Amino acid sequence: MAECLHLPMLVKLLDYRKAAQLFIKSRSKIIRQIKPHTGSVIQYIQKLSSSTFTLINETIVDFKEIFAEYPQMYSLLISTFIQKEMKHFAELFKHQVFQTGRTALSFKEAT
């Protein structure tokens, strides 16, 4: 998170692309640390979904505030953050529901 402390300075120095990359990198790191530990598939998916999508939403709101004067950076947010985090979420979901050796009940629980 120390990287985020440099964001205002980078933005002021007009190195807004580097600032955006650092911001996105730090937020991705936080999301990748989400490891909901629960007994049931449904609880795991609920906690994973809630945590992931809350953090994605907060990141979008913060990004829009920090980089309001640089709307050209929104494509960076989409391509290097949102798309990657959605793929990561889908992989965790798929692994939990289909590849953990659980029964067909896991799939029914999660849908």
DSSP string, 65-109: HHTTT-GGGHHHHIIIIIHHHHHHHHHHHHHHHHSSS--HHHHHH
In whole angstroms, how far apart are CA 12 and each of 7, 9, 17?
A: 9, 5, 12
One-letter identity of residue 74: Y
Which helix H or strand E contains 23, and what residues bound it?
helix 16-32
Residue 28 tokens, joined:
């991705």
**What is the model's pLDDT at position 1?**
43
- How does pLDDT run along the chain (111 residues), one tens digit per residue? 444 545 565 556 567 788 888 889 999 999 988 877 767 788 888 899 999 999 999 999 999 998 888 888 899 999 999 999 999 999 998 888 777 665 555 556 655
* Confidence (pTM): 0.76
pLDDT value at position 42?
Answer: 83
Return the SS3 of 31: helix
